[in-house]
Amino acid sequence: MMQYKGYLSKIKFDDQADIFHGEVINIRDVITFQGQSVNELRQAFEDSIEDYLAFCSERHEEPEAPFSGHFTIRLSPEQHRKVLVCAEKSGKSMDTWISETLIHAAKIGV
């Protein structure tokens, strides 16, 4: 994973074409890039972000900002109660408990 100006990417290697493909993952707009070496890939990533920002500026549009880390989730009242009880049993706030549970489920660690 690479990061530039708050934008994060995922990278895959195509061993048949001998090239790396990347895509920005923390916005809804689609930004892709590719390169044959790590240095070429990194430069293509940064160039793609700069091109995206310039394109938005030319159109007088705000570029989509990387995800803020805040999101809304809807639960039934019963689900809400169960989540709150679990958080309280663990001695944590509901936000902390949910965040840690999601991170664990996503296997990315804290």
pTM over 0.75: no
What total number of domains does the chain contain?
A: 2
pLDDT, tens only, 1-44: 899 999 999 999 999 999 999 999 999 899 999 999 999 999 99
Domain that holds residue 32: 2-58
Distance of CA 101 to the CA centre of its chain: 18
What are the CA-CA distances from residue 13 to residues 10, 31, 49, 54, 93 (Å)? 10, 17, 20, 28, 41
Q: What is the mean pLDDT of the chain?
A: 92
Is the pLDDT confidence value at 62 over 80? Answer: yes
Pair (9, 52) in one structural domain: yes
Domain membership of residue 67 (yes or no) is: no
Domain membership of residue 70 (yes or no) is: no
Pair (49, 9) in one structural domain: yes
Domain membership of residue 102 (yes or no) is: yes
Domain membership of residue 94 (yes or no) is: yes
Pair (52, 95) in one structural domain: no
Pair (48, 85) in one structural domain: no
